Copies of this chain bind each other. A is one copy, B any other.
Amino acid sequence: MKLYEALLESLVCRVEQGFYPVGSKLPSIRALSKEREVSISTVQEAYQRLEESGYAEVRPKSGYYVRSRGSDVELPDLSRPAQRPLEVTHWDQIYHLLSSSKKDGYKAFGTAMPETNTPTLKPLTKILSRIAANSVGDFLNTSEIQGSAALRKQIARLALDSGCQLHPDDIIITSGCQEALVCSLRAVTSPGDVVATDSPSFYGSTQAIKALGLKALEIPTHAETGISLEALEMALDQWPIKAIQVTPTCNNPLGYTMPEERRKALLRLAQQYDLPIIEDDIYGDLYYRSPRPKTIKAFDEEGRVLLCSSFSKTIAYGLRVGWVAPGQCTDRVLHKKFISTVSSPPLQQEAIAEFIEKGFYERHLRRMRAQYRLNRDRMIDLVKRTAPEGTRISYPEGSYLLWVEFPPEVDSVKLGKRMEQKGVSIAPGVLFSASGKYRNFIRLNFAQVPDSQTEATFRQICEEVRQLIAEA
């Protein structure tokens, strides 16, 4: 990390924590250089980046001031999904979204792929390449059900950052987070059971609920604090719920991170009703600030939480390496994993283990978090400047996904079809609900630095949105 980057991170942190309030003057370049014992040019560089990222503005002949941000974002309301367990649909649209995004020249606003075009991933390709070259009779021909011991050791080490004490034997490597979620669901439910989920919710897990013959009970979810505990408690009294599934950190698609107190309260509720919690932490390491939030698993002393994650969002989607720490259910999940795919390819696992062990992962995360945070601010700025009146957006504190609520008359399924003809994929809100809710929402991916091309594409989307409003 360069000096100016460290300074930038610390400045952003102070602004976000309110240490430098909105509108206040930041320290002069000379004062800060003295305070931090860095050169004038380092401070200049940091301030310039701070300005670019929308945290500060220059007032001529006066200096840098904290800019108003975030706080003026109008968030979506508490979600109001159907108040009964439902079967899940929309597979056709999901398949369409995921396959059309692969076409050449397509603007893939709709997927949840991370940015991989970064120098911090170069060491990974070198490691992969070296391991592959030496793999005959070794990594090519062994593959353990539980996964690479070297990788499980590194995951246990990383878990300390989220407050979790895991032993490598507590962890099972999976083929992506999807397999972790599905094996977890299988381990704790039987066909016909009801699963309570936050809502909106990741479509891979709602589709899995459907495919396993389960029913999803969508619990109203707040755009800042996550699943409503009050609504959940009521539902627990009304329905024979067998498991709770949530994504409390850098939620997809809502973007919120559940406050620690509410996590503890959710765990207490699960204890009270003796239920397992399936905790999806796939975006957790992309929380912008440091330290990252503790997982619910961190407070779980009974092995009640099945913590699922993956390197698909933090490193690269195509690696297909995920993991699960299933607590009490480890043996059962291991059997489900065997049934599902026997084992996952060791090549990627060994490479990721070395990438983490040598510190490359931490370096990569630092860069991506900073990058995504800057992207978020530019994207929010772009949406605010461009979208029609009445549009509300989420304010993600991590990851690279924005949840956009258009006025109620906008049908985002129609919008998706029209944009597709223009070579743009978007993710319509209905995909994130078992009950076809969120029809006037879309999810936007801002993993790549928003540029003039992004701006032009988003303008196209907004024109179409205005057209849809006019037609309504």
CB-based contact B182/A339 at 8 Å: yes
A91–B342 alpha-carbon span in the complex (Å): 12
Shortest Cβ-Cβ A-B pairs, 6 listed = A128-B132, A140-B316, A129-B133, A175-B341, A129-B132, A117-B137
- Interface bits A262-305 vs B (CB < 8 Å: 1, else 0): 00000000000000000000000000000000000000000000
CB-based contact B343/A320 at 8 Å: yes
A339 in complex: contacting residue of B113, B124, B178, CB < 8 Å: B178
Cβ-based interface call for A335 (8 A): yes
State the number of copies, please.
Answer: 2
CB neighbours of A133 from chain B (8 A) = 125-126, 128-129
CB neighbours of A145 from chain B (8 A) = 95, 98-99
- Interface bits A238-251 vs B (CB < 8 Å: 1, else 0): 00000000000000
CB-based contact A347/B348 at 8 Å: yes
Known: A102-B144, A141-B316. A341 touches B176 (CB 8 A): yes
CB-based contact B342/A340 at 8 Å: no
A95–B174 alpha-carbon span in the complex (Å): 16
Cβ-based interface call for A134 (8 A): yes
Cβ-based interface call for A388 (8 A): no
A317 in complex: contacting residue of B132, B142, B316, CB < 8 Å: B142
Cβ-based interface call for A116 (8 A): yes
CB-based contact A140/B116 at 8 Å: yes
A143 in complex: contacting residue of B117, B143, B320, CB < 8 Å: B320
| Smallest CB separation, A21 vs chain B (Å) | 40
Question: Which A residues, 106 to 155, have Cβ-Cβ distances below 8 Å to chain B?
Answer: 113-114, 116-118, 121-122, 124-126, 128-130, 132-137, 139-146
Cβ-based interface call for A428 (8 A): no
- Interface bits A327-360 vs B (CB < 8 Å: 1, else 0): 0000000111011111111111000000000000
Cβ-based interface call for A259 (8 A): no
A335–B144 alpha-carbon span in the complex (Å): 26
CB neighbours of A338 from chain B (8 A) = 91, 94-95, 98, 178, 204, 207
5 additional A-B pairs beyond A132-B132, A143-B320, beta carbons within 8 Å, are A98-B145, A99-B144, A128-B135, A176-B341, A182-B340
The chain B residue sitting closest to A212, CB to CB, is B339
A339–B335 alpha-carbon span in the complex (Å): 17
A342–B174 alpha-carbon span in the complex (Å): 12
Known: A341-B176, A347-B348. A211 touches B335 (CB 8 A): yes
CB neighbours of A212 from chain B (8 A) = 339
Cβ-based interface call for A23 (8 A): no
| Smallest CB separation, A228 vs chain B (Å) | 28
A204 in complex: contacting residue of B132, B191, B342, B348, CB < 8 Å: B342
A341–B129 alpha-carbon span in the complex (Å): 24
CB neighbours of A126 from chain B (8 A) = 133
CB-based contact A342/B102 at 8 Å: no
CB neighbours of A168 from chain B (8 A) = none
A146–B99 alpha-carbon span in the complex (Å): 9
Cβ-based interface call for A208 (8 A): yes
The chain B residue sitting closest to A339, CB to CB, is B211
CB-based contact B176/A140 at 8 Å: no
